[in-house]
Chains A and B, each alone.
Chain A
Amino acid sequence: DAKTTQPPSMDCAEGRAANLPCNHSTISGNEYVYWYRQIHSQGPQYIIHGLKNNETNEMASLIITEDRKSSTLILPHATLRDTAVYYCIVRSGTSYGKLTFGQGTILTVHP
């Protein structure tokens, strides 16, 4: 599976959009981009995933560049409860669903 690079930490003001970047320059054509988050002392939580097109759900939006070498997770109106570690994961479309977690980005939302 392709390796991902994320900034170790980011800050965001409550109510503002949080934009979390992820680089995956070695991604191949059948690999999906997944985002999970882990709030302190809890299990990871699925957020969103995509292959080529931008995706949106009730939690977030995922913007994937045309060359697929990077993506951005957008939390449109961050709240204090969005403070968590956010993991960007690239998963092969031919694997059974195995996720390889990196170090992620610690997002801190400030009042």
Chain B
Amino acid sequence: DARVTQTPRHKVTEMGQEVTMRCQPILGHNTVFWYRQTMMQGLELLAYFRNRAPLDDSGMPKDRFSAEMPDATLATLKIQPSEPRDSAVYFCASGLTPDGGWTDTQYFGPGTRLTVL
């Protein structure tokens, strides 16, 4: 059963430290989404990649967050420096998008629970 994997599953860090979260999309999927979930804000879209190119990162705080896809099997979300307000669960989702079309179904990973002290 193909699944999206995320590492680490849990991360506790101190304010000011760099945090890197990794996502392995389902093999063959060409689209990756990053979401953040908090009790207050719910699920928010941070970034969207298609064929490894960032197409929408309007939901991401630009000053401290960055997202990349070094290759088709790895997506990373980095926070530097981290702040307590970044504490949340970060989800990665992948999907298959045909040329000129849209992503029909998003498959979510288990998430990374980040706590910034």
A residues lining the B interface (CB < 8 Å): 42-46, 49, 87, 93, 95-103
Contacts and interface: CB of A to CB of B under 8 A. Distances in A.
Given A43-B91, A44-B43, A102-B42, A96 B110 contact: no
Contacts of A96: 48, 50, 55-56, 97, 102-103
A100 B43 CA distance: 8
14 contacts: A43-B109, A43-B111, A44-B106, A46-B105, A46-B106, A87-B43, A93-B102, A96-B50, A97-B48, A97-B97, A97-B102, A97-B104, A98-B48, A99-B106
Given A45-B108, A46-B105, A46-B107, A97 B95 contact: yes
Contacts, number: 49
Contacts of A99: 45, 106
B42 A98 contact: no
Interface size class of chain B, counting residues whose CB lies under 8 Å from the partner chain: 20 to 34
A42 to B, nearest CB: 6
A81 B56 CA distance: 35
